């Protein structure tokens, strides 16, 4: 009978949390989540948005929302705790950036370094195009080797 009591208790807890009764009477702290989701739908939505915009430092090409790495799970837990504590999105991104560097952000801010990183390939293409045009123009003004020079027959 023990498993059945646990199942009933779990169902009762889930019903109390989903109805919001537990938080009203102080039985559950605000932000307790069931099955990995926050009770408050607005917080859950923010959680999903934030975890999609943070890069997993182990996988590097996955968001922490999608990664199965242990570090990604820890980062999700940190984000969840900060949301429950009432931190804003900017504060959460700032904390993650300060702790792990700009690499953790999928959308790094536009500053001198990022402008250089994104602009350098285009600048090099422009310089290359100018060099090619000048070389082609200079060669087109040179005489061909098979043309007779003036004065020789």
Measured CA to CA, the distance from residue 21 to residue 23 in angstroms comes to 6
Q: Please indicate whether residue 60 or residue 88 has the higher confidence score (pLDDT).
A: 88
Does the predicted TM-score (pTM) go above 0.95? no
Measured CA to CA, the distance from residue 123 to residue 69 in angstroms comes to 38
- Both tokens of residue 87? 């931190």
Residue of 19, 45, 17, 21 lying closest to 31 (CA atoms): 17
Measured CA to CA, the distance from residue 80 to residue 123 in angstroms comes to 42
Residue of 52, 148, 149 lying closest to 107 (CA atoms): 52
pLDDT band at 145 (very low <50, low <70, confident <90, very high): confident
Task: Give the residue ranges of DSSP H helices in the chain.
Answer: 2-19, 21-24, 41-52, 70-84, 89-100, 112-140
Q: Does domain 9-104 fall into CATH 1.10.8.640?
A: yes
Measured CA to CA, the distance from residue 33 to residue 36 in angstroms comes to 6
Asked whether the predicted pLDDT for residue 52 surpasses 90, the reply is yes
* Tens-place pLDDT, residues 111-132: 888 788 889 999 999 999 999 9
Alpha-carbon distance values, 118 to 90, 110, 111 (Å): 24, 10, 11
- Percent residues over pLDDT 90 in the chain: 40
pLDDT given at position 31: 60
The domain ranges of the chain are 9-104
Q: Considering only 24-33, 71-80, 139-148, which range has the smallest mean pLDDT?
A: 24-33
């Amino acid at each position: 009978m023990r498993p059945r009591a646990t199942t009933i208790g779990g169902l009762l807890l889930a019903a109390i949390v989903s109805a919001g009764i537990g938080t009203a009477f102080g039985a559950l702290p605000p932000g307790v989540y069931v099955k990995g989701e926050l009770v408050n739908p607005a917080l859950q939505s923010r959680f999903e948005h934030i975890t999609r915009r943070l890069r997993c430092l182990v996988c590097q090409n996955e968001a922490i929302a999608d990664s199965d790495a242990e570090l990604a799970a820890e980062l999700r837990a940190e984000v969840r705790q900060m949301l429950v504590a009432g931190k804003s999105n900017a504060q959460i991104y700032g904390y993650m950036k300060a702790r792990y560097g700009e690499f953790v952000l999928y959308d790094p801010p536009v500053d001198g370094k990022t402008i250089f990183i994104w602009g350098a390939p285009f600048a090099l293409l422009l310089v290359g195009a100018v060099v090619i045009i000048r070389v082609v123009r200079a060669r087109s003004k040179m005489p061909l080797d098979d043309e007779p020079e003036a004065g020789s027959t």
